[in-house]
Structure 1
C-alpha cells in the first residue's frame, strides 16, 4: 500500500506475475506440460497505470499472448477493479535453459499450449 491507501505500483508487477505463473506453471502442468518450470525469464515489462486501485478492493486480471515467436513470447494483461481497467501491461518472456544459463527456443508443446491464448 502506498501513503494514499492505494496499491503500490510495484505490487502491480507481482499481481501480473501471479497471473502469468498460474497459466504457465499450474495451467500448463494440468495439461501435462512441465517445461516452463525449467526456465523462463523476463526480458522486459511495460506497465501503464490508468487509475489508482484502492488497497481493499478486489481485482481481476485478464491475460493473453500478444505475440509468440521461436525465442520469445509476449504476455499482455489488463487489471480490472470492478468493471474498469485500472492498468495494462506487457511482459516479454524468454524461454531459458537454467542449466546452461542461456536462452532457448520454445518447444512445440509449449507453442501448442500458448497458441490458444493468442489474442
Structure 2
C-alpha cells in the first residue's frame, strides 16, 4: 500500500496560548496534505490524457481526529501521511497520520480521517467517482490507521491538543 507523504511547515501563528499547536491547526495540516494529494499529485498519476477531475470539485462530508500527543511549535516540518481506506460509488475516505518523520523518531501526534465527496458545482449536487478517479485512489488503498480510538494505559485517550 502506498501512502502520500506531505511535509507540512509549522507557522508561528499555529501556536496557542498554551505553547503548543492548537487543535484547529491540525485540520489545516490535513487540508494541505489532502490538497497536495488530490490536486497536485492526482493529475500526474491519473488516466492518460487528463488525469483525474478532483480539481473540478469535491467537498468534505466529515472529519474525525484522534489527538495522540501535544505538538509543540518547532522549525522542522511535521510529516502528514495520506492514504485511502474506502472507496464507494460517490465518496471516499482518506486516512492521515500527523507525525515526525522516521529520522525524528516517528512520534504520532494525530490520526484522522476525512470523507470526501466528488461534487458537481454547476449542478449543485454530489456526483459519482469516475473510473479515472477510482483508479488513482486504488493505488493508495489500505487499512485504517492502527490505534484509532485506543485508550492510553490509564484509560485516557492520550494527550489531547488544547481546545
Instruction: Please give the TM-score of this superposition, normalised by the length of structure 1.
Output: 0.95
- Residue correspondence of structure 1 range 1-119 to structure 2 within 5 A: 1-31=15-45, 32-56=50-74, 57-81=76-100, 82=104, 83-119=106-142
How many angstroms does 1:34 deviate by?
4.4
Higher relative contact order (CA 8 A, sep 6+): 2
SS of the equivalent of 1:64 reads: strand
Q: CA RMSD in A?
A: 1.1
User: What is the distance in 1 between the residues matched to 2:77 and 2:53?
Assistant: 32
Q: CA shift at 1:66, angstroms? A: 0.7
Q: Compute the TM-score of the two structures, normalised by the length of structure 2.
A: 0.70
Aligned to 1:118, the other structure's residue is in SS state: coil
Structure richer in helix, relative to its length = 1
Give the C-alpha shift of residue 4 in structure 1: 1.5
Structure 1 SS opposite 2:114: strand
Please say which structure displays the higher CA radius of gyration.
Answer: 2
Q: Which moved more, 1:48-57 or 1:70-79?
A: 48-57
SS of the equivalent of 1:45 reads strand
Question: Larger % of strand: which?
Answer: 1
Contact 2:52 2:133 in 1 (8 A): no
- Aligned equivalents of 2:95 and 2:42: distance in 1? 18
Q: Which moved more, 1:91-100 or 1:77-86?
A: 77-86
